[in-house]
Amino acid sequence: MDKSKKYLLVAIVLIGIISTPMLAEETSYEERITKIEDELAETKEELAETKEIILKNETYIAEVDKKASSFDYYGYVRSGILINDSLRGGKGGPYLTPAGSVGGPVGRLGNEPDTYVELVLEKNFYMENDSWAKYKIMIADGQEDANDWTADTSDLNVRQAYAEMGGLPTFEGTFAESSIWAGKRFDRDNFDIHFFDSDIVFLAGTGAGIYDVKLSENWMSNFSLYGRDFEDIGSTDIENYILTMNNYYKKMDYYGKWQVMLNYLFAKDNDRTDPDRADGGANILLAHHLDNFYGIGEGFAKTTIQYGHALGAQVKGIGSEEELTEDANAVRVTACGVVGLAPNWKLAPAIMAETSEDRYVDGDEYKWVSLNLRLSNEITENFEMVYEATYQYNDLSPEGYDPDGSDPRQSVNGDFWKLTVAPTFKLDTKSGFFSRPEIRLFATYAFWDEDLEDYSTSDVLGDDDFSGGSGLNFGAQMEVWF
Amino acid sequence: MDKSKKYLLVAIVLIGIISTPMLAEETSYEERITKIEDELAETKEELAETKEIILKNETYIAEVDKKASSFDYYGYVRSGILINDSLRGGKGGPYLTPAGSVGGPVGRLGNEPDTYVELVLEKNFYMENDSWAKYKIMIADGQEDANDWTADTSDLNVRQAYAEMGGLPTFEGTFAESSIWAGKRFDRDNFDIHFFDSDIVFLAGTGAGIYDVKLSENWMSNFSLYGRDFEDIGSTDIENYILTMNNYYKKMDYYGKWQVMLNYLFAKDNDRTDPDRADGGANILLAHHLDNFYGIGEGFAKTTIQYGHALGAQVKGIGSEEELTEDANAVRVTACGVVGLAPNWKLAPAIMAETSEDRYVDGDEYKWVSLNLRLSNEITENFEMVYEATYQYNDLSPEGYDPDGSDPRQSVNGDFWKLTVAPTFKLDTKSGFFSRPEIRLFATYAFWDEDLEDYSTSDVLGDDDFSGGSGLNFGAQMEVWF
Amino acid sequence: MDKSKKYLLVAIVLIGIISTPMLAEETSYEERITKIEDELAETKEELAETKEIILKNETYIAEVDKKASSFDYYGYVRSGILINDSLRGGKGGPYLTPAGSVGGPVGRLGNEPDTYVELVLEKNFYMENDSWAKYKIMIADGQEDANDWTADTSDLNVRQAYAEMGGLPTFEGTFAESSIWAGKRFDRDNFDIHFFDSDIVFLAGTGAGIYDVKLSENWMSNFSLYGRDFEDIGSTDIENYILTMNNYYKKMDYYGKWQVMLNYLFAKDNDRTDPDRADGGANILLAHHLDNFYGIGEGFAKTTIQYGHALGAQVKGIGSEEELTEDANAVRVTACGVVGLAPNWKLAPAIMAETSEDRYVDGDEYKWVSLNLRLSNEITENFEMVYEATYQYNDLSPEGYDPDGSDPRQSVNGDFWKLTVAPTFKLDTKSGFFSRPEIRLFATYAFWDEDLEDYSTSDVLGDDDFSGGSGLNFGAQMEVWF
């Protein structure tokens, strides 16, 4: 072999040596890449399937959500016992004083002997176009009977049954934010002083109305017609109708929101029962709502003044009192709020005062002022001490008014004081005055001018068992709303 | 160096030049493929984990679904106010005429002064083998009192409480599709003319039965025994029992479905109250159900004829009337339906007529015919105008029948007319006559032969406040079922 | 060209031939790997997105779950008809014999003429820290009226309305497992003999308490104060208070668990109605709970002895009876259980016996023994035959006690027997005696010493329609609890 051939051979062998592993590698790459390609394709397919399943599940969840959301359950409940210092059944209630007969409350803490329940079931309807409707029914009962079977004294009744709808495409411009309703209901915009168990306005009955009519940039109004029943005369049901215009000025800001509510009432046949009774009336509420405590601290505050005439002289329960005379006049002022005092201390002061004249009888006069202070001190995550002090001034001249026909009311003038301490358990004491449920023990000491016991023989202070100017009650209670 | 060597060197260098990047590439591939393999393995693992999570979630959703589905909430409600043209409480109701005392209704639209609620809670039980059971309770109340607290007049009561089960493996052949039930209930197959607020058949009470027994290919039957209570005599509760066989021939097709319902009644002690009263009876219903409007258009139609004797002479509320004599006979015919007239127009005509003799007293005779037409005109997505016209003919000869013992009924003969216009809001006007909720305003003008006011002093037309042959009512109402 | 050059050319061509596909392959790998890398990156991204969606969905499911779980619906219901052999309404009830007036029941199967419903709605509150609260309301009604509208006789009332909370971080050590409650309720630890429709202990009313205080390793206690109402004297509500300590020793094991319950009662004004009436009292329950049938077979067994004095002499319905004298004494023993006899056969024997003296009147004596045996035989998956036999011995000397003031009770001595056969349908007969719903048909034959009819003219056996020493009833009933 010549050199050239030898060199060629060397070159070929070299090429062979170099390229053989390359070819082997090549085969190995081929296999690996093919395997990867296959597995990746599989994986992608699996992922696609998985995403489909997820989509299906999302639809499923949405359906289950829709099912669960179409129903809502709400309630308010209090239930407990009140025992007096001779270990007998205690008496009480926020309206136990003479002023209570004309709406003057005292603090409710450690002062409630009843089981009161409100059970609300709601059905929700949702449309694709974001319009909605709801139907709400409330069944309620109030009982002082502690037994577990109270059929004989049951007051179970339907307090609300109404439908409301909103977000309707047909409603535009001024009405774009409006909702309409009809049926039996508590008005949406009623508000209260919880600690007195007293609404400031309680408008309720059967009727229809429209909420959130935007009259201008800063002026929203509600319009409604409510019907209510007074007692019958023979086969005539005396109906009382209430036309309401309820106005809000400005959105809530640091300086608050103003409300002016106007109610006009007519009850054509009411003077058939007694010619002095009013067959109509009107009232006005001016309210200022703040979401801080008068600029002093976090919390809220509400300040109101109400004036009513004739049937309107019942300034709280609008249109609910048929005994009012055509000359009746009433003025009520309230202020209340909640404020954080210090870490773990919260304070809720409230005042309510009213003067009314010619209310039930020509020349009568009812004056009262109620002051209440509830204080809570968080001790642990689940335990707080709650204190409440009430003072009420009574100056009532009923001029012999005798609603039951057997117990003419006497003029009285005097003070009522109530002090309560209530060790309270809750799920989270940090969550504030209004979080519930609460389970509380309590002791309440009350004292009053004995004069107040003369007002009526049928009210709590007039009771034989509740005399001598003072009383001690203790007990336990649960309270929940949701 | 010789040429050969030089060439070899060139070859080697060339090989080197060519294979170096190849080797570099090789290293790069190795890294990339290895990385891919790792990542792919990871991704597959992640995907597997994800799928496990999805599986777990599916189980979770199914559990939540089961929880949500085990409960159902249903209801029917109407609530509103009726005001007359002197701004007093209006009177009305579909049974306000003399014929109403024997079941003759007039149109309900703009004619209902009450708040009536039916609240239904259902518990569902599902088995793996597709058998099922349900328990249903209905609580209901009816009130004309517009107030939000009606404890004194509350009629809250349990109208239904029954269990039903079906799909049972034990049930085969003829019974393969059957379900069984026991308890207090409205029969499943009751049906009504909504616009009259009148059932055609209303079978209800406490008992037991079986539905959907397949007697032949085209013949399905229900069998039931219902108990009902008549008034007591001393400690004896007079019970009325109703044996029912309810038959359906053919499945629904273009030519409809036929129904033959047979009821046999026995109330052993009913003649102890009054020897003329029936202690038994029977009736028959022949019904034809169409899912189009008599071949004319889309909609539905129902045509029925009923005959009853003795206790069976109450042909609607089967077994609900104890005052019927042993000679009583009644024949009733009805026809009703719904049809689309034109785009945005729907029509619902209805007729009901009855003649009965020897009903409560030997020789009495009650004849009446009610015609009703409801028309709806969709204006926008949320607003429609609804119109209703009713005519009723009354020819009643009660022969001094005096159910209250103080108000013998007088013979009357005359006509009643009612016209209502009702602007109506709903979530979707396209969804038809029977979709709810509806919130409606309305005005109703009715006029009648004054003669009709003489029938009874205790019915609506006999009322002092409702005289002079005509009346105008207006108001607002919500209606919802779900 | 010389040879060298030629060889070089051959080498180059060879190199070219070898490396060309290699280079081509190289390009192909590059493309494939790049594609894989891209796709893998995409896939990973998609998977990440998918996992995010899953996470979002999990949150969504949890929310829906929370919504669905915050509400619970429970109930107990029975409804059916009882017809006697003359096809009139049957009479019955587990307390139809003279002994029934002092709590002596007979078997309930095929012996219940009523529709009784308990409807329970529960609201649940869950905290992150595993503490919880719940609010429960029970509305109930009982009716013998078979009609679907029973407003006149409706007994709808709120039987329970209470809140309970537990798992509170504030509660540690002895109280670590404790829950607290307040409101109106049936005590959590009441237990019954279902087949007699009789609780062994039924403590209920309005109050507050704490469960599961761990006094030592093997000793758990509940403490509570319940209030109940006796009849009023004028404006005085007579309240009866019950202080309870309820103790459990050892956890349940093969040899069972012991219970000692102590009740102390005081009703300060109860002797104002009648000076012989007790104004206090006490009772004790010693109970042994087994989760097998006395070591013989699978099932459970309960054995109890109760002793009570004065107001405590009502040993079942703690504090529910105001007529008891201050000298009243009662001893009651019970034993009951359920055991599997053979495949498809289950047995539930029960015994209850009581003797009481000076119960309502000085010198009276009430002795009775009730024995009951319920037997079920599963025939198919959905059908079983159920049998029940009852024997009751009555020996009552009421000494002229006259609770209604018009019907002094007579001394009687005699036996009562009841035999029932009940073909029963259920979703799964294998699921045992206590699974529901059940739909049953039944026939019941009862016979008794006619002497027993003399006890009272106002009880069932004293009824004119229910005389002659025997009776046959048949009917149908549903029963469900959930």
- Tens digit of each residue's pLDDT (9 = 90 or more) over A323-381: 999 999 999 999 999 999 898 999 999 999 999 999 999 999 999 999 999 999 999 99
Mean pLDDT over residues B204-220, rounded?
Answer: 97
Chain B residue closest in CA terms to C462: B235
How many Å lie between the alpha carbon of A17 and the closest alpha carbon of chain C? 12
- Chain B residues near residue C63 by CB distance under 8 angstroms: none
Instruction: Report whether pLDDT(C29) > 90.
Output: no
Instruction: Report whether pLDDT(C89) > 60.
Output: yes
pLDDT at A103: 98
- Chain A residues near residue C161 by CB distance under 8 angstroms: 77, 79, 115, 117
Residue that is written with structure tokens 């915009």 in the block: A189
How many Å lie between the alpha carbon of B89 and the closest alpha carbon of chain A? 6
- Chain B residues near residue C88 by CB distance under 8 angstroms: 236, 239, 268-269
Cα distance between residue C161 and residue B337, in whole Å:
47
Minimal Cβ distance to A64: which of B36, B43, B64: B64
For A416, the token pair is 């009522």
Answer yes or no: are the C-beta atoms of B114 and B81 closer than 8 Å: no
- Chain A residues near residue C57 by CB distance under 8 angstroms: 54, 57-58, 61
For B480, the token pair is 């919802």
Cα distance between residue C21 and residue C17, in whole Å:
7
Question: Across the A/C interface, how many CB contacts are shorter than 8 Å?
Answer: 236
Closest Cα to residue B457, out of B395, B403, B384? B403
Answer yes or no: are the C-beta atoms of B362 and B346 closer than 8 Å: no
Helix (H) or strand (E) holding B417: strand B412-426
Answer yes or no: are the C-beta atoms of B437 and B479 closer than 8 Å: yes
Chain B residue closest in CA terms to A161: B79
pLDDT digits (tens, 9 = 90+) for B426-470: 999 999 899 999 999 999 999 999 999 999 988 888 886 667 889
Cα distance between residue B355 and residue B16, in whole Å:
117
Cα distance between residue C84 and residue C90, in whole Å:
5
Q: Is B7 on the interface with A (CB under 8 A)?
A: yes
**Helices (DSSP H) in A189-347: which residue ranges?**
270-273
pLDDT at B4: 67
CB contact under 8 A, A44 and C47: no
A262: which DSSP letter? E
pLDDT at C11: 67
pLDDT at B459: 87
CA dihedral A166, A169, A170, A175 (to 10 degrees): 60
- Chain C residues near residue B57 by CB distance under 8 angstroms: 54, 57-58, 61
How many Å lie between the alpha carbon of B161 and the closest alpha carbon of chain C? 7
Mean pLDDT over residues A85-98, rounded?
Answer: 94
CB contact under 8 A, B427 and A127: yes
Look at residue C175 and give its three-state secondary structure. Answer: helix
Separation in Å, CA B207 to CA A50, A244, B181, B285, C148? 51, 50, 8, 21, 11
Minimal Cβ distance to B146: which of A137, A169, A227: A227
Chain B residue closest in CA terms to A136: B77
pLDDT digits (tens, 9 = 90+) for B30-82: 899 999 999 999 999 999 999 999 999 999 999 999 999 999 999 999 999 99
Cα distance between residue C264 and residue C262, in whole Å:
7
pLDDT at C70: 95
Instruction: Report whether pLDDT(A24) > 70.
Output: no
Instruction: Report whether pLDDT(B1) > 60.
Output: no
CA dihedral C466, C468, C473, C479 (to 10 degrees): 60
CB contact under 8 A, B208 and C478: yes
Separation in Å, CA B335 to CA A282, B252, B282, B369? 51, 18, 22, 12
pLDDT at A10: 75
Output the furthest CA–CA distance in chain C (Å, rounded). 150
CB contact under 8 A, B119 and A121: yes
Backbone angles phi, psi at C387, to 5 degrees: -125, 145
Cα distance between residue C436 and residue C433, in whole Å:
9
Closest Cα to residue B208, out of C479, C428, C87? C479
Helix (H) or strand (E) holding C197: none
Chain A residue closest in CA terms to B145: A229
CA dihedral B358, B361, B364, B368 (to 10 degrees): -80
Backbone torsion region of residue A400, taken as left when φ is above 0, otherwise alpha when ψ lies between -120 and 50, otherwise beta: left
pLDDT at C24: 63
Minimal Cβ distance to A141: which of C32, C131, C158: C158
Question: Across the B/C interface, how many CB contacts are shorter than 8 Å?
Answer: 237
Mean pLDDT over residues C220-236, rounded?
Answer: 93
Select from C9, C147, C155 the residue whose CB has the most chain B CBs within 10 Å, as the one to mutate to test that interface: C147
* Amino acid letter, C242: I
Average pLDDT, chain C: 94
B 44-63 → C contacts, CB under 8 A:
46-47, 50, 53-54, 57, 60-61, 63
Residue A323: how many CA atoms within 13 Å on its side-chain side?
11
A 173-202 → B contacts, CB under 8 A:
180-186
Minimal Cβ distance to B182: which of C29, C80, C148: C80
A 398-457 → B contacts, CB under 8 A:
none
Q: C175-184, C197-206, C269-278: which has the minimum mean pLDDT?
A: C269-278
pLDDT at A8: 72
CB contact under 8 A, B135 and C69: no
A90: which DSSP letter? P
Residue that is written with structure tokens 């003359």 in the block: C86
Q: Is B1 on the interface with C (CB under 8 A)?
A: no
Cα C200 → chain centroid:
13
* Amino acid letter, C129: N
Cα distance between residue B165 and residue C380, in whole Å:
15
Q: How many residues does chain C have?
A: 482
pLDDT at C21: 59
Instruction: Report whether pLDDT(B356) > 80.
Output: yes
In this structure, how many other beta carbons lie within 10 angstroms of the beta carbon of residue A328? 27
More confident call, C363 vs C6: C363
Cα distance between residue A307 and residue A319, in whole Å:
14
Burial class, C27, CB count within 10 angstroms (exposed 0-12 / middle 13-18 / buried 19+):
exposed
Cα distance between residue B474 and residue B441, in whole Å:
8
Instruction: Report whether pLDDT(A11) > 90.
Output: no
Residue B115 neighbours by CB under 8 Å, 6+ apart: A158, A161, A183, A184, A206, B77, B78, B79, B80, B141, B142, B143, B144, B146
Give the model's confidence band at B8: pLDDT under 50 very low, under 70 low, under 90 confident, else very high.
confident
Instruction: Report whether pLDDT(C73) > 60.
Output: yes
Backbone torsion region of residue A405, taken as left when φ is above 0, otherwise alpha when ψ lies between -120 and 50, otherwise beta: left
B neighbours by CB contacts (3+ pairs under 8 Å)? A, C
Burial class, C337, CB count within 10 angstroms (exposed 0-12 / middle 13-18 / buried 19+):
buried
Give the model's confidence band at C466: pLDDT under 50 very low, under 70 low, under 90 confident, else very high.
low
B 264-323 → A contacts, CB under 8 A:
none
Closest Cα to residue C311, out of C271, C273, C272? C271
Cα distance between residue B459 and residue B480, in whole Å:
28
Q: Is B80 on the interface with A (CB under 8 A)?
A: yes
Instruction: Report whether pLDDT(C16) > 70.
Output: no
Cα distance between residue A353 and residue A376, in whole Å:
24
Minimal Cβ distance to A135: which of B8, B77, B145: B77
